[in-house]
Every structure is written in C-alpha cells, then in structure tokens.
Copies of this chain bind each other. A is one copy, B any other.
C-alpha cells in the first residue's frame, strides 16, 4: 500500500485538517467582529462556507486520529471518493467566497471612507486572507487523496 503525505490516515493529514479548522475559524472571527457583515451577500457567503468547512475538517481530523491510534488504515475507495468530492466542492466554494470578499473590500476601501472605516475594512481583508489559506490547505488535502486513488483500485 502506497502512502502519500496528506492523504487520509497520515499525521500530515491531521495537521492539514487542523490548519483548515484554525484558518476557517479565524476567517469567521474577523468577519463577525464587524457587526455589519450581513449587509453584503459576499460576506454572508464567506461566513456560510467557512461554517461548513469547520465541521467537515474537524470530523476528518478525528477520523485521521482514529485511523492512526487504532492502527486501522482506511483503504476503501468509496470513502476516498466521498472525501475527495467533499474537499473539492468545499475548496471551490472557499475560493469563490474569498475572491468575492477580497474584491468587495477593495471596492469599499476605494469608494468611501465613511462607508467602510479603515479599521473595519482591515478586518475584512484579514478574513479574506484566512479564507485563501484555508482554500490552499483544502486543495492540498484533496490532491493528496486523489493521488492515492489509482493505487487503491489497483490493490
């Protein structure tokens, strides 16, 4: 059985999953600090997607931990397919939400200072940056599991 760093049941995977949880939580935290985020569709979209990434990544981190501690490697291609599709869909949504937020903050900063004070807009920028980092980690997780898929079928 070939092992790919970052695929299900490896310590790298746990690190990636916890990274996703931390960055997504930070993104929601910085967005929710400004109470006016629900006025903009893109900001609401970001909060919704980050709210989906947190339980998804946390559940998979627990599955990774169980797989390592109980020395019970998960080799079913069905489980891998579900994880790859879930990771890919969430990574696309995360990228879309992060780009939407970034472009909106850029416009708000340009448009009018009273419309979005410097301090509030800075928080939104940090939130978008955290979402981008979360996207990177989701993509790495997805690609690692995808890379292992042909070997699972071959076994």
Interface, chain A (partner B; CB < 8 A): 40-42, 45, 92, 95-104, 106-107, 111, 146, 150
How long is the Cα–Cα vector from A98 to B97 in the complex, in angstroms?
Answer: 11
Measured between beta carbons, the chain B residues less than 8 angstroms from A104 are 103-104, 107
A18 to chain B, nearest CB (A): 24
A89 to chain B, nearest CB (A): 12
Identical copies in the complex = 2
How long is the Cα–Cα vector from A92 to B107 in the complex, in angstroms?
Answer: 22
Measured between beta carbons, the chain B residues less than 8 angstroms from A45 are 103
Nearest 7 pairs of A and B residues by beta carbon: A100-B103, A42-B103, A96-B99, A150-B150, A99-B99, A99-B100, A103-B104
Q: Quick one: which of A40, A41, A103, A146 has the most chain B CB within 10 A? A: A103
Q: Pull 10 A–B residue pairs with CB atoms less than 8 Å apart, ordered by A.
A: A42-B106, A92-B95, A95-B95, A95-B99, A99-B99, A99-B100, A100-B102, A103-B104, A111-B111, A150-B150
A124 to chain B, nearest CB (A): 12
How long is the Cα–Cα vector from A104 to B104 in the complex, in angstroms?
Answer: 6
Measured between beta carbons, the chain B residues less than 8 angstroms from A107 are 40, 42, 104, 107
How long is the Cα–Cα vector from A35 to B117 in the complex, in angstroms?
Answer: 29
How long is the Cα–Cα vector from A111 to B39 in the complex, in angstroms?
Answer: 11
How long is the Cα–Cα vector from A129 to B95 in the complex, in angstroms?
Answer: 17
A103 to chain B, nearest CB (A): 4
